[in-house]
Chain A
């Protein structure tokens, strides 16, 4: 039974660049209308528009759990917004069979003044649940969120953990044939996240179709069976989850990404690579290279590279100036600074690199406004055991030993 749940045909979404045009003052619109006959109409140039999504054709079968992967601005959220009917496509069409639920945010419409009970009903109605349906699932939601004692307390008095649990509790009980989920799992503590994954997997097993957008590659891998890769608004790959995501990560690591500008630098690439193999594994010798073009003369170039978890928890950092110094870079010139890490102490999983570019001569530090994800592939760390979250993120080069065993009886005897 390979029924089709979602079909997209040549979907495209065009946005106009620049924010000053989006909401104008009525006064301006009126004066423009008055002035219009006296002025030649100037059509907007093609460069003023951007295609956030271009020619996306997809077919997703009933019961498939599909991850949508791609970096910032690749069009993931735009695709989800179109499928959730929040925004209209500029071109093309899509068909969805069955009721659609979309979770683009946890706790949409939650009101801080209202109690947990009231918010469950409000949020449920906003997500498209019937009152009878919410009543039926009310106890289950409360139990899932573990907020029984505080159910009649205004949610403004909730801890952020409770708030998120309650919000997700409502969302997780949304019973639609098609579920569109955007990044909502990026919140909450680790244990609750696990519970949410389990709940979503359970939903998926009931033949529901799930489209899941996330930056968290590990989460996508654990939830989804299929992946769709979006790059600059286009679908570049679709297929079984592991192969597709591997391909995406390999692509990203080789090609780097488009340049990012800060005040005095244009960062052209951040690359991380293992010396010997195409994938990075725990304890490999790896190189991190940061390549940039100077926009102004840089007297004493430097770089600070940090490695973060996907939840943006800082694991470690390296400052170039602690190791070496580089010659000045003139405006317009390219410079590459890098580090060799002898043995990468990271367990399998997805991490991200954050970069600060510096000019120590001018006490200048500029953060690069994006992060560069990379993946440490599954490998035979710790004797090939499947590592759970109990092992954390850091890999230790360790050996176990048995200490000299003393035979207490013998000791007694010898004495």
Chain B
């Protein structure tokens, strides 16, 4: 039995219904990937080219010319370890923020839990990440790095990166329906965020007393976590990761409620 009622100020998240629609989530993700790789000349190669070129550019300008420290790790490896989760985050965030507007034909014609749309956009980013990860697997033996026991913690940081993209993506996608200039701020936001994250530089250059504040950027915890778990950097990023995780969970819960609240009028304003 389905009950239809006027908009509710605080609707429940509806996890049960979301689970019922898991196949749609799968199909939308699959569609986006299929179309993306079908329409581009280089197909899946893009997933490798992007982080690879950024690594080259960063290594040249920051590593070589500017002499940015890399905590004793070969700079290309140092930055690539950060670029992997960064690209996962940045792509997923951009895709999910634009997802509702891009799928407005679905939203105005069919009912399904709207959360499926930004979630599927985030999931699509994981495939690109997996492909780019193969490059890292090739780089590790080249630089003679053998990951230690810390590698088992890697999935935690991957999940954290995905959740961060999801949390911010939920906010931005819902805002984007209502305010179309949000789209223009996304690129700017991602660029700005890149420099606020230790991708090109180590977080050790941030003064210790600012570290916790710095950790409020959840990507700091993710990136430092990646380096720690893959490259076996001695100091564990425990505190940073904890702060990041708290921020992400808060953003995510808030984002879900905000999204559910706004979704009731998506079809009317999109």
The reply to whether A25 and B106 contact each other, CB–CB distance below 8 Å, is: no
Q: Using a Cβ–Cβ cut-off of 8 Å, how many residues does chain B contribute to the interface with A?
A: 38
The reply to whether A85 and B2 contact each other, CB–CB distance below 8 Å, is: yes
Q: Which of B136-144, B212-220, B261-269 contacts A (4 or more CB under 8 A)?
A: B261-269
Any chain A CB within 8 A of the CB of B42? no
| Contact bitstring A101-121, B, C-beta under 8 A = 1, else 0 | 010110011010110001001
Contact A94:B31 (CB < 8 A) given known A108-B105, A126-B110: no
Any chain B CB within 8 A of the CB of A230? no
Q: Which parts of B34-65 form the interface with A (CB within 8 Å)?
A: 34-35, 38-39
Any chain A CB within 8 A of the CB of B193? no
Query: How far does the Cβ of A343 sit from chain B's closest Cβ, in whole Å?
Result: 45
Any chain A CB within 8 A of the CB of B24? yes
**A122 contacts across to B, CB distance below 8 A:** 27-28, 31
**A25 contacts across to B, CB distance below 8 A:** 179-181
Query: How far does the Cβ of B104 sit from chain A's closest Cβ, in whole Å?
Result: 11
Q: Using a Cβ–Cβ cut-off of 8 Å, how many residues does chain A contribute to the interface with B?
A: 44
Select one of B1, B31, B264, B265 contacting A97, CB under 8 A.
B1
Query: How far does the Cβ of B195 sit from chain A's closest Cβ, in whole Å?
Result: 23
Q: Which of B4-12, B230-238, B251-259 contacts A (4 or more CB under 8 A)?
A: B4-12
Any chain A CB within 8 A of the CB of B209? no
| Contact bitstring B160-182, A, C-beta under 8 A = 1, else 0 | 00000000000000010111111
**Separation of A122 and B23 alpha carbons in the complex (Å):** 10
Any chain B CB within 8 A of the CB of A136? no
**Separation of A29 and B28 alpha carbons in the complex (Å):** 32
Any chain B CB within 8 A of the CB of A130? yes
**B178 contacts across to A, CB distance below 8 A:** 23-24
Residue of A with least CB distance to B177: A23
The reply to whether A81 and B4 contact each other, CB–CB distance below 8 Å, is: no
**A105 contacts across to B, CB distance below 8 A:** 109
Contact A126:B106 (CB < 8 A) given known A26-B175, A85-B2, A121-B27: yes
Query: How far does the Cβ of A21 sit from chain B's closest Cβ, in whole Å?
Result: 9
| Contact bitstring A257-278, B, C-beta under 8 A = 1, else 0 | 0000000000000000000000
Select one of B111, B177, B180 contacting A102, CB under 8 A.
B111
Q: Which parts of A18-55 form the interface with B (CB within 8 Å)?
A: 22-27, 29
Contact A23:B180 (CB < 8 A) given known A83-B4, A118-B34, A130-B23: yes
**Separation of A276 and B86 alpha carbons in the complex (Å):** 79
- Most chain A Cβ neighbours within 10 Å, of B26, B110, B177, B268: B110
Any chain A CB within 8 A of the CB of B112? yes
Contact A96:B108 (CB < 8 A) given known A15-B268, A23-B179, A25-B181: no
**Separation of A81 and B107 alpha carbons in the complex (Å):** 11
Residue of B with least CB distance to A87: B267
**A125 contacts across to B, CB distance below 8 A:** 23-24, 26-28
The reply to whether A95 and B110 contact each other, CB–CB distance below 8 Å, is: no
The reply to whether B181 and A86 contact each other, CB–CB distance below 8 Å, is: no
**Separation of A86 and B268 alpha carbons in the complex (Å):** 9
Secondary structure dominating the interface of B: helix
**A121 contacts across to B, CB distance below 8 A:** 27
- Most chain A Cβ neighbours within 10 Å, of B23, B108, B178: B23
The reply to whether B2 and A100 contact each other, CB–CB distance below 8 Å, is: yes
Query: How far does the Cβ of A331 sit from chain B's closest Cβ, in whole Å?
Result: 38
Residue of B with least CB distance to A118: B34
| Contact bitstring A127-166, B, C-beta under 8 A = 1, else 0 | 1101100000000000000000000000000000000000
Query: How far does the Cβ of B207 sit from chain A's closest Cβ, in whole Å?
Result: 33
Query: How far does the Cβ of A61 sit from chain B's closest Cβ, in whole Å?
Result: 15
The reply to whether B4 and A114 contact each other, CB–CB distance below 8 Å, is: no
Query: How far does the Cβ of B129 sit from chain A's closest Cβ, in whole Å?
Result: 23
Residue of A with least CB distance to B25: A125
**A114 contacts across to B, CB distance below 8 A:** 31, 34-35
The reply to whether B4 and A86 contact each other, CB–CB distance below 8 Å, is: no
Query: How far does the Cβ of A25 sit from chain B's closest Cβ, in whole Å?
Result: 5
The reply to whether A113 and B35 contact each other, CB–CB distance below 8 Å, is: yes
**B108 contacts across to A, CB distance below 8 A:** 86
**Separation of A26 and B178 alpha carbons in the complex (Å):** 8
Any chain B CB within 8 A of the CB of A330? no
Query: How far does the Cβ of B100 sit from chain A's closest Cβ, in whole Å?
Result: 12
Contact A96:B4 (CB < 8 A) given known A26-B182, A131-B23: yes
Query: How far does the Cβ of A181 sit from chain B's closest Cβ, in whole Å?
Result: 12
| Contact bitstring B89-113, A, C-beta under 8 A = 1, else 0 | 0000000000000000111111110
Query: How far does the Cβ of B157 sit from chain A's closest Cβ, in whole Å?
Result: 32
**Separation of A108 and B181 alpha carbons in the complex (Å):** 27
Contact A113:B4 (CB < 8 A) given known A87-B267, A87-B268: no
**B5 contacts across to A, CB distance below 8 A:** 88-89, 93
**Separation of A90 and B264 alpha carbons in the complex (Å):** 11
**A131 contacts across to B, CB distance below 8 A:** 23
- Most chain B Cβ neighbours within 10 Å, of A86, A90, A118: A86
**Separation of A81 and B264 alpha carbons in the complex (Å):** 12
Select one of A23, A88, A100 contacting B7, CB under 8 A.
A88
The reply to whether A111 and B6 contact each other, CB–CB distance below 8 Å, is: no
The reply to whether B24 and A126 contact each other, CB–CB distance below 8 Å, is: yes
The reply to whether A95 and B1 contact each other, CB–CB distance below 8 Å, is: yes
**Separation of A108 and B178 alpha carbons in the complex (Å):** 23
The reply to whether B110 and A109 contact each other, CB–CB distance below 8 Å, is: yes
**Separation of A265 and B207 alpha carbons in the complex (Å):** 74
Any chain B CB within 8 A of the CB of A195? no
**A95 contacts across to B, CB distance below 8 A:** 1-4
**Separation of A96 and B3 alpha carbons in the complex (Å):** 7
**Separation of A92 and B7 alpha carbons in the complex (Å):** 11
Instruction: Give the top 3 A-B pairs by smallest Cβ distance, nearest first.
Output: A26-B179, A94-B4, A85-B111
Q: Can you pick out 28 interface pairs between chain A and chain B where the beta carbons lie within 8 Å of each other?
A: A15-B268, A22-B269, A23-B178, A25-B180, A26-B175, A26-B179, A26-B185, A29-B179, A83-B4, A84-B110, A87-B265, A88-B5, A96-B2, A96-B4, A102-B110, A104-B109, A105-B109, A108-B109, A108-B110, A109-B110, A113-B34, A113-B39, A114-B35, A125-B27, A125-B28, A126-B24, A127-B110, A128-B110
